[in-house]
Chains A and B, each alone.
Chain A
Amino acid sequence: NAGVTQTPKFQVLKTGQSMTLQCAQDMNHEYMSWYRQDPGMGLRLIHYSVGAGITDQGEVPNGYNVSRSTTEDFPLRLLSAAPSQTSVYFCASRTTGGVRGDTQYFGPGTRLTVL
Chain B
Amino acid sequence: AQSVAQPEDQVNVAEGNPLTVKCTYSVSGNPYLFWYVQYPNRGLQFLLKYITGDNLVKGSYGFEAEFNKSQTSFHLKKPSALVSDSALYFCAVRDYGNNRLAFGKGNQVVVIP
A48 on the interface (CB 8 Å rule)?
Answer: yes
Total chain A interface residues with beta-carbon distance under 8 A: 24
Contacts of A43 in B (CB 8 A): 44, 90, 103
Q: Which of A4, A40, A42, A50 has the most CB of B within 10 A?
A: A42
The distance from the CB of B3 to the nearest CB of chain A, in whole angstroms, is 11
Q: A102 contacts B94, CB within 8 Å? A: yes
Q: A42 contacts B105, CB within 8 Å? A: yes
Q: B43 contacts A90, CB within 8 Å? A: yes
Total chain B interface residues with beta-carbon distance under 8 A: 21
Partner of A103 from B43, B49, B90, B106 at Cβ < 8 Å: B49
Partner of B46 from A31, A45, A50, A103 at Cβ < 8 Å: A103
Q: A106 contacts B44, CB within 8 Å? A: yes
Q: B100 contacts A48, CB within 8 Å? A: yes
Docked Cα-Cα span, A102 to B96, in Å, equals: 10
Enumerate A13-44 residues with CB–CB distance to B below 8 Å: 31, 33, 35, 40-44
Docked Cα-Cα span, A104 to B101, in Å, equals: 9
